[in-house]
Amino acid sequence: MNQPLAERIRPQNLSDYISQQHLVGENGILTNHIKQGIIPSLILWGPPGIGKTTLANIIANESGRPFYTLSAISSGVKDVREVIEKAKKSGGLFTQKNPILFIDEIHRFSKSQQDSLLGAVEKGWVTLVGATTENPSFEVIPALLSRCQVYILNSFDKDDLIALIHRAIEKDDFISQKKIILKETDALLQVSGGDARKLLNIFELLVAADNEVEITNELVLSKIQKNTVRYDKTGEQHYDIVSAFIKSIRGSDPNAAVYWLARMIEGGEDVKFIARRLLILASEDIGNANPTAFIMANNTFQAVSTIGYPESRIILSQCAIYLANSAKSNASYMAIGEAQNLVRTTGDLSVPLHLRNAPTKLMKDLDYGKDYQYSHNYQNNFINQEFLPDEIKNTKLYEPGNNPRENQFRELLKQRWSDKYNY
């Protein structure tokens, strides 16, 4: 019994595959592909231990195709080329059932390694099946991604995980000989983190020593000392957690903000990355409602760049709490978006003559700068004149936020511009 439990009970066909009905159910996408005998190059994207490798094997078995596999951790460009040559000889141009080349953790392939796959995929020498735990939009080069279908594998739910345990109890030659009672499963499911491989490894550890075992939460917690927090600072979890962090601050919830901050800190996230996101948020979500927030965020970035961990956690916490408690406004963010859309729809409009620079006599003779009114020559340093091209004059792009400071902006604009800025 040298093989781990997860390997011993690995499904061999679609009917035994648990979960992912949107892909492998009766009317699933992959089920239909296999029935039709047409397997596109594809990327299976999902969390660890969800059955990506198993599914790749099943696709090859049920479609009757040669199967080649590489691990992105240990394979280089030379290995890729060698396996492609083998695949060409076993299928490729002379059969409709071209070989499947499975690459585990394809997100770990460098650009040059991914480039080496392009020709084989494009010419149909192999059908590529890649597995990744990370968003392929970030980790797979566009040329390769455009040649593949991306299929998302969902996390196992509670019923799926319990079904895996029952399969082990019923079908594994070793475990099926034992008397096992599943009295409580909450702790077992929790420490597995939804990872089927980890779940089965833990389960095997719990039942290995005795012929009669009652699974309880106390038993699981006593044998499994530490439930580590999953945080891949280069992967999908990285983007999900920082998204929750930013949205908590935007939503003015300091408790949630420091919780998600702690998740990033405990996961070893780069302090500069966190500080950069705070700096962006200070402008995008707070802006002129509290201009000091941007200064605070910028000082935070400078401070953590100098200090680092562990003390930086205090500075980041102070800044996150301050930003969460600040008045919010996205008026500047919305204004530049409106302005960019206007530029895209109206094109390169001419700068009005009175606003043009006139460094030469010829330009002055052509009325460049003529009739421009120098604001500082007038009362309160203001004179009403048009600064936009004629085609879009009087266009309003900036809408002050509803907060004390920007309400002052609104009143000032009304006083200066009358109907032009009549909010």
Query: What does the pLDDT profile of the chain (423 residues) look like in tens digits?
Result: 568 888 899 988 888 898 898 998 888 999 999 888 889 999 999 888 889 999 999 999 888 888 898 887 777 788 888 888 887 777 544 445 788 999 988 988 888 888 889 988 988 888 999 999 888 887 889 999 999 999 999 888 899 999 999 999 998 988 989 899 999 999 888 888 788 888 998 899 888 878 898 999 988 888 775 544 555 555 556 678 888 999 999 999 999 999 999 998 888 788 888 999 999 999 999 999 999 999 999 999 999 988 878 889 999 999 999 999 999 999 999 999 999 999 988 888 888 888 888 778 777 777 787 888 888 888 888 888 888 898 888 888 888 889 888 888 888 888 888 777 766
Query: What is the token pair recorded at 358?
Result: 């006139």
Residue type, 153: L
390: which 2 tokens? 């004629």
Q: For residue 153, which of 133, 168, 138 has the smallest C-alpha distance?
A: 133
Where are the domain boundaries for CATH 1.20.272.10 in the chain?
236-325
Contact of 205 with 188, CB cutoff 8 Å: no
Architecture in CATH of 348-421? Orthogonal Bundle (1.10)
Q: Considering the domain 158-223, what is its CATH architecture?
A: Orthogonal Bundle (1.10)
What is the reported pLDDT for 96? 55
Within 10 angstroms of residue 198's Cβ, the number of other Cβ atoms is 16
What is the rounded CA–CA span in Å between residue 151 and residue 131?
10
Q: Where in the chain is the domain with CATH 1.10.8?
A: 158-223
Cα–Cα distance, 297 to 224 (Å, whole number): 41
Question: Which residues have a Cβ under 8 Å from the Cβ of 246 and sit 6 or more positions away?
Answer: 277, 281
CA dist 22 to 28, 31, 33, 133, 335, Å? 5, 9, 13, 19, 42
The CATH number of 20-152 is 3.40.50.300
Closest CA to 34 of 64, 57, 69: 64
Report pLDDT for 387.
85
Tens-place pLDDT, residues 233-258: 555 566 788 889 999 999 999 999 99
The residue type found at 184 is E
268: left (phi over 0), alpha (psi -120 to 50) or beta: left
Backbone angle region of 43, left / alpha / beta, with phi > 0 → left and psi within -120 to 50 → alpha:
beta
* Whether residue 48 has a cis bond before it, omega within 30° of 0: no
CA–CA separation, 57 and 69 (whole Å): 10
Q: Which of 74, 46, 44, 45 is nearest to 57 (CA)?
A: 44
* Three-class DSSP category at 151: strand
Domain with CATH 3.40.50.300 in the chain: 20-152
Specify the pTM: 0.57
CA distance readout (Å), 263 to 67, 259, 323: 40, 6, 18
Place of tokens 């998740």: 263
Question: Fold for domain 236-325?
Answer: Zinc Finger, Delta Prime; domain 3 (1.20.272)
The label of the residue with tokens 């090859």 reads: 60
Give the residue from 105, 100, 89 showing the smallest Cα distance to 33.
100
At 197-217, the pLDDT tens digits run 889 988 998 888 788 989 999
For CA atoms 27, 28, 32, 35, give the dihedral sign.
negative
For CATH 1.10.3710, list the domain ranges present in the chain.
348-421
Instruction: Note whether 305 and 272 are within 8 A (CB).
Output: yes
Cβ 47 vs Cβ 133: under 8 Å = yes
Q: What is the pLDDT of residue 236?
A: 53
